[in-house]
């Protein structure tokens, strides 16, 4: 049976690049991108697209039947900073969409689910450095609470109903094709865009705020590698710790200065500082490395080169 994928939240930062990659693997017509609004030209022109509200179960079922979808990637979510401003809306979107998709799998309408969790499941009482997979999980953000609850719903549906749901605790994801929206780690994208366009950046996190980060291509590869792994190898059905590298705004700025020597940065922390301070500095992802051979490729220096060269091309072509 061929894989037919529905991506919910396909126009967001991760959804856009994930959909494009899935299309290159499974064939354009076998990857249905969907969101509440249309996305980038590249995404819209490369295969089927449907307008779907991820909290509307009937709409989702209709599209699953229309295209004979057997695998759903649920990327629709409200991220940490926006969720603090709209807690009920965030809870509704993040939890209802997951519960709909889990039930569809329980009813046998789809075979596989991917659902991302986040470093936001950790909180101020978790160990800060090399935070282990199994440790104190006391999130203090609405987003973190929704992700932690979601992880246990995934685990519950897997152990009680045999649902094949797989998940990764993403760190901050850095990319140049589509900007993130409403996250605390977004500075690590904004900083490159402003560096190229304006030569300066004001960071909403303090210079020494260390957070786990990953370049987009690594995040996409990890996702696909996890989804293609032999189910028997996967011992974790909440969500896997996943790590690339870790850095502070000051370190990102220094790596930009190696390429753009005139770049300057200053710091004006806002409400997102508190969110960042509650999250780990770095993550221990040994189970991902052991159980399905995860290996990250891109570090900070390499990422700066990729980000700056691609953003420069985009700016020139505008
Ligand atoms: N990047 C997300 C955020 O900042 C964390 O998963 O909200």
pLDDT digits (tens, 9 = 90+) for 150-183: 999 999 999 999 999 999 999 999 999 999 989 9
Burial label, 297 (beta-carbon count in 10 A; 0-12, 13-18, 19+): exposed
Q: Which residue has the tokens 């980060």?
A: 213
For residue 256, the model assigns a pLDDT of 98
pLDDT, mean of each 10-residue run, the chain (318 residues) = 95 98 98 98 98 98 98 98 98 98 98 98 98 98 98 98 98 95 97 98 98 98 98 98 98 98 98 98 98 98 98 78
5-171+215-241: which CATH topology?
Answer: Rossmann fold (3.40.50)
Is the minimum distance from the CB of 178 to ligand 1 under 6 angstroms? Answer: no
pLDDT digits (tens, 9 = 90+) for 216-259: 999 999 999 999 999 999 999 999 999 999 999 999 999 999 99
Q: How far apart are CA 243 and CA 109, in angstroms?
A: 33
Does the C-beta of 282 come closer than 6 Å to ligand 1? no
Nearest CA to ligand 1 atom 2: 183
Residues 263 and 198 sit within 8 Å (Cβ to Cβ):
no
| Ligand 1 site, residue 188, Cβ cutoff 6 A | no
Q: Which one is catalytic: 26, 73, 114, 143?
A: 143
The alpha carbon of 224 and the centre of ligand 1 are apart by a number of angstroms equal to 20
Task: Output the pLDDT for position 41.
Answer: 97
Q: Dihedrals φ, ψ of 202, to 5°?
A: -105, 115
pLDDT tens, 71-83? 999 999 999 999 9
Q: Note the pLDDT of residue 55.
A: 98
This prediction's pTM: 0.97
- Distance (Å, rounded) from C-alpha 172 to C-alpha 169? 10
- Identify which of 181, 186, 209 to mutate to test ligand 1's pocket (most ligand atoms within 8 A of the CB): 186
User: Could you tell me the strand order of the sheet in which 49-51 lies?
Assistant: 49-51, 31-35, 5-8, 71-74, 112-114, 164-166
Residues 271/82, Cβ–Cβ less than 8 Å: no
Residue 173 CA, ligand 1 centroid: distance in Å: 8
pLDDT given for residue 314 in this prediction? 87
Q: Where are the domains of the chain?
A: 5-171+215-241, 175-213+246-317
Q: What is the 68 CA–ligand 1 centroid distance (Å)?
A: 32
Torsion of CA 245, 265, 184, 79, to 10 degrees: -110
The rounded Å distance from CA 80 to ligand 1 centre is 6
Given the CA of residue 182, which atom of ligand 1 is nearest to it?
7
Strand duo 200-203 + 264-267: pairing: parallel
> What CATH number does domain 175-213+246-317 carry, 3.40.50.300, 3.30.70.1050, 3.90.25.10, 3.90.1640.30?
3.90.25.10
Q: What is the best residue among 86, 131, 183, 244 to mutate for testing ligand 1's pocket, by most ligand atoms within 8 Å of CB?
A: 183
What is the rounded distance in angstroms from the CA atom of residue 139 to the CA atom of residue 117? 13
The yes-or-no answer on residue 114 being catalytic is no
- Picking from 154, 151, 172, the residue whose alpha carbon sits closest to that of residue 243 is 172
Per-residue pLDDT, 35: 98
Distance of CA 2 to the CA centre of its chain: 26
Q: What is the whole-number distance in angstroms between the Cα of residue 1 and the centre of ligand 1?
A: 35
Q: Do domains 5-171+215-241 and 175-213+246-317 have the same CATH topology?
A: no
CB of 170 closer than 6 A to ligand 1? yes
């Amino acid at each position: 049976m061929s894989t037919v994928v529905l991506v919910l939240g396909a126009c967001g930062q991760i959804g856009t690049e994930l959909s494009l990659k899935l299309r290159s693997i499974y064939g354009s017509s076998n990857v249905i991108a969907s969101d509440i609004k249309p996305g980038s030209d590249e995404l819209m022109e490369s295969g089927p697209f449907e307008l779907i509200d991820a909290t509307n179960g009937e709409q989702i079922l209709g599209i699953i039947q229309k295209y004979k979808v057997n695998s759903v990637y649920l990327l629709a979510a409200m991220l940490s900073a926006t969720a603090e401003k709209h807690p009920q809306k965030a809870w509704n979107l993040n939890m209802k969409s997951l519960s709909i998709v889990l039930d569809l799998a329980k009813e046998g309408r789809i075979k596989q689910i991917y659902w991302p969790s986040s470093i936001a499941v950790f909180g101020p009482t978790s160990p800060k450095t090399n935070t282990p997979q199994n440790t104190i999980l006391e999130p203090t953000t609405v987003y973190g609470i929704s992700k932690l609850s979601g992880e246990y719903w995934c685990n519950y549906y897997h152990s009680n109903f045999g649902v094949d749901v797989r998940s990764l605790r993403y760190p901050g994801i850095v990319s140049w094709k589509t900007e993130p929206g409403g996250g605390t780690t977004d500075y690590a994208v904004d900083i490159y865009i402003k560096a190229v366009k304006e030569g300066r950046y004001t960071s909403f996190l303090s210079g020494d705020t260390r957070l786990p980060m990953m370049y987009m291509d690594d995040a996409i590869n990890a996702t696909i590698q996890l989804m293609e792994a032999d189910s028997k190898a996967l011992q974790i059905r909440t969500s896997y710790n996943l790590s690339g590298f870790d850095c502070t705004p000051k370190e990102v700025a220094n790596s930009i200065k190696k390429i753009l020597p005139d770049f300057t940065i200053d710091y004006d922390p806002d409400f997102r500082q508190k969110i960042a301070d509650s999250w780990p500095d770095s993550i221990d992802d040994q189970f991902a490395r052991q159980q399905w051979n995860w290996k990250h490729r891109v570090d900070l220096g390499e990422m700066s080169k990729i980000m700056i060269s691609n953003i420069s091309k985009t700016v020139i072509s505008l």
